[in-house]
Structure 1
């Protein structure tokens, strides 16, 4: 009997030894060797990305799992959802997004459209928090921090990045560039995406020091010249790509979106969609011309065959926008804030919302200095003239009084805190002397609300807090009685879409905030001239 148990023990030990030392596929070993996500050093309390979920929770013993995800809405991948458009599971489209958070959402929504047209299952890519420093490593946000992923899953076939790494065996074997770009534009982009996701699109030289390359990206001092020595350019035509590059269309061209079927024609399993963002000039629409040969129902029923022009595609884009709504936690916070600050005694939420986007360090620097164009010169000049906190305060107060609204909310970037503080003082002084019963609330109050309501939340870095505030403000502007929007702002554009097509708010009273402020500026000047004329 003892001999029998002895062999049982030996057999068990040998089996355990085998499983612990079984060789994993080469792609998975490589994936584990080089994978990382950029750490956020802005707060010692922030999540240490790259750790397993259980390790993260153990690091914060007083924080429960639900509290730890308080600034995120978990995607229920265990729940089976049958999408309206079941896409090819053997061919994937992996977006690599660009620019700020709102531009990333627009680029992602474009990616959904392209995935439908190409019949490729969509992979959820990394999103990024806002930064004004191009040399600073971008901190990564999960998709379900930006929109309701389960809602998107009702529309199209979607998989997580972790699942894509398995399906693709860690390799990207085609690049669909959204712009008409050459391979050289991918030198620094592909290794960065590799380290963020585990999907490798560029070949490295034999014996390359991956840790040294990772450190280069963590430092933020990344240039093509610094990265190029790490890449293997000894292949056919000196290419360092695993697969073929498919250049896109020239930005702003009048091409139809349906051309992607020919320019991105490929049997490659895993294709990177590089830097999608408004390449086709599409604007979501809920209607078609009266004499159109196809109905909205036909387009939605079979988009692969019935989307023949950008006009057709605009109908499907409106559906895509509806299926990428804000996450549940953002909608909940917006409702709580409105209930606390904007409801009248009769329980009605009636308020004017303003989006003042024009921070000199970011918006004006980018559009009016670094990327200055003749067609923007008038806009830039008007914005600079409107940078007057007194005129802004009076313009908003007068409009609210004219509409009989008791509350006003002003959304602005964090860098405008001092300007907004002065504007708020001017507003209060003006309504007090004018006898208006109007209360103003700014982003500062919303920040206090977010922090107070989430005191136990470990996600307290400035990146995350500002990201949540921006999303909540977008909902506040979408649901307001009147919206005063910023020109040339994708943030305002997205809020206006949600306002018109989802919140079903009439936009007849909405205005361009710069024009409204300039009317106040010119009116003040005219009043001074008249007053000076009377003195003489």
Structure 2
């Protein structure tokens, strides 16, 4: 077939292909995003030097989940000369001590130690925490002592330097939580239950690897000797996702199936739906089972828990309704002390104030968008520019009541915003929000819609009004400089998890939180707080502004 290369049509195709490749190269090298990235690179070189002279690009690469394995092993284990680092905790001895948790013997709610419930959930860190919270509430309602589980790292973390399980004390302040309710360790559960669970509660079909996961994290198996209860009182066999593999065949094990409708169960119905006299119970990938959108709780009791925990008494909890108890579980499941204190220091020293906006954008390539979510078709259309405009629009709304006070520009109105995002364009967005021309253009459209075009002289001038955006690069620099690995090694077990937990706490403490609907990470940050705005609401407002600008 050598003769084909001499045919005219072949020559034409080759010319067209070469021209197409030339156009692609020109578009890449002249693209605005590339120019922005180059400006970001130059801008990062002008920032304050940090230890080992890491710039924004290096930090971003370190924090990228897919890059974590090789980078973490290099930075955690060795110095630049190749010598092994001697880790100490001289800057944070209290944090290290508190991670060594021991069950409290004087909780406000003492549950039956002969009946336990264990949350087995392998659906990601945030869903694991939600499952743990629900297990605590189910334990309170059914008088079962809660077993503190071993958590798993995020499935995209590849830090082989550490064991795969994550101690619960690194995600929850167990010392604080144990003041509310009695809990036991996995070791105690194994002694009580002879390494076998008696009964399970299941919401969704389990994956094939559930049995190995359960054995690895709990040391227990589904080996009930009470299979005679199958077919009675609503108990059925366990359901699996796949039936064609023999390894997926479940054992003869009594399970009570929960409703598959998300958040369908009322908290008042938990005691009935999770009933069983069998002592050793396990939640099988069960989470987000009952609604948390309710009112009717006792605000006086919640205020005691938030403002003066020492005034909260056993009598308060005995008389509390189920909705109040559920909210108390959320209040008592705080992040570990080191996470809260690092977040507080960052907010005070770097962001320089308690009033700020936080925004979480969850929708990267790993987010699974089910068709029932109304925003699925819009996700791929959202670009860095749109998120930058969302930040400026939300900041304008946040400070609209303060404009008259600073209208003469004697004092610059600076709006502090923290962006937590799963995407990799956070530095691009930061650069856009700092660009004066970009700010002036978005305000031209906003003020046009509001009929306040005369205010462009104020909002379009960064000497009068501007956004200061912070992200995980700023947070990493702060932690790395104030609590370096060699002097506070206890917090550096997993860099990605450390950053994610502190970011979540920063969002929780914000004045306004712009959250990502259907994100468990956002859901955790929203617990116990108000002033939460769905990001799609701001994007809808932005779409209206752009539509009016195009018409007129």
Worse-matched range after superposition: 114-123 or 74-83: 74-83
Aligned equivalents of 1:69 and 1:198: distance in 2? 31
The alpha-carbon distance between structure 1 residues 492 and 66, as it changes in their structure 2 partners (threshold 3 A), is: same
Q: Residue 391 in 1 paired to residue 389 in 2?
A: yes
Q: Residue 412 in 1 paired to residue 420 in 2?
A: yes
Partner residue in 1 for 2:194: 169
Aligned equivalents of 2:525 and 2:181: distance in 1? 23
Offset of 1:283 from its aligned partner? 3.3
DSSP 3-state at the match of 1:336: helix
The alpha-carbon distance between structure 1 residues 117 and 178, as it changes in their structure 2 partners (threshold 3 A), is: farther
Worse-matched range after superposition: 452-461 or 67-76: 67-76
Partner residue in 2 for 1:228: 246
Aligned equivalents of 1:47 and 1:424: distance in 2? 28
The alpha-carbon distance between structure 1 residues 77 and 341, as it changes in their structure 2 partners (threshold 3 A), is: closer
DSSP 3-state at the match of 1:249: coil
Match for 1:324 among 318, 321, 333? 333
The 5-angstrom pairing of residues 127-276 of structure 1 reads: 127-131=151-155, 139-179=164-204, 185=206, 187-201=208-222, 228-229=246-247, 240-241=251-252, 243-252=253-262, 254-257=264-267, 259-276=269-286
Question: Which digits, 9 at most, give the CA deviation of each residue in 1:430-451, with x for residues without a partner?
Answer: 3586322442212221122233
Aligned equivalents of 2:476 and 2:526: distance in 1? 23
Q: Residue 422 in 1 paired to residue 420 in 2?
A: no
Would you say the 8 A contact 1:175–1:246 is kept in 2?
yes
Offset of 1:82 from its aligned partner? 0.7
Aligned equivalents of 2:363 and 2:94: distance in 1? 29
Partner residue in 2 for 1:380: 376
Aligned equivalents of 1:264 and 1:69: distance in 2? 42
The 5-angstrom pairing of residues 67-82 of structure 1 reads: 74-75=98-99, 77-78=101-102, 80-82=104-106
Offset of 1:72 from its aligned partner? 6.5
Would you say the 8 A contact 1:72–1:327 is kept in 2?
no
Q: Tell me the C-alpha RMSD between the 2 structures.
A: 4.0
Worse-matched range after superposition: 473-482 or 452-461: 452-461
Aligned equivalents of 1:445 and 1:280: distance in 2? 38
Partner residue in 1 for 2:541: 519
DSSP 3-state at the match of 1:176: strand
Partner residue in 1 for 2:461: 434
Aligned equivalents of 1:316 and 1:260: distance in 2? 12
DSSP 3-state at the match of 1:499: coil
Aligned equivalents of 2:510 and 2:265: distance in 1? 36
Would you say the 8 A contact 1:382–1:514 is kept in 2?
no
Match for 1:283 among 282, 287, 293? 293
Match for 1:83 among 96, 107, 111? 107
Match for 2:476 among 420, 440, 447? 447
Would you say the 8 A contact 2:203–2:286 is kept in 1?
yes
Would you say the 8 A contact 1:98–1:277 is kept in 2?
no
TM-score, normalization by structure 2: 0.64
Aligned equivalents of 1:437 and 1:384: distance in 2? 28
Partner residue in 2 for 1:491: 521
Aligned equivalents of 1:480 and 1:263: distance in 2? 37
Would you say the 8 A contact 2:267–2:323 is kept in 1?
no
DSSP 3-state at the match of 1:483: strand
DSSP 3-state at the match of 1:122: strand
Partner residue in 1 for 2:51: none
Offset of 1:144 from its aligned partner? 0.9
Match for 1:474 among 501, 504, 507? 504
Offset of 1:334 from its aligned partner? 0.7
TM-score, normalization by structure 1: 0.66
Q: What 5-or-longer segments of structure 1 have no aligned partner? A: 1-39, 49-58, 204-221, 234-238, 290-295, 307-311, 344-348, 501-506, 531-536
Offset of 1:81 from its aligned partner? 3.5
Offset of 1:112 from its aligned partner? 0.6
Partner residue in 1 for 2:318: 302
Offset of 1:298 from its aligned partner? 11
Offset of 1:488 from its aligned partner? 2.8
DSSP 3-state at the match of 2:195: coil
Aligned equivalents of 1:340 and 1:252: distance in 2? 41
Q: Residue 341 in 1 paired to residue 339 in 2?
A: no
Aligned equivalents of 1:151 and 1:60: distance in 2? 36
The alpha-carbon distance between structure 1 residues 113 and 485, as it changes in their structure 2 partners (threshold 3 A), is: same
Question: Which digits, 9 at most, give the CA deviation of each residue in 1:166-195, with x for residues without a partner?
Answer: 33232223222244x5xxx37531222102
Offset of 1:47 from its aligned partner? 9.4
Count of residue correspondences:
413
The alpha-carbon distance between structure 1 residues 385 and 226, as it changes in their structure 2 partners (threshold 3 A), is: closer
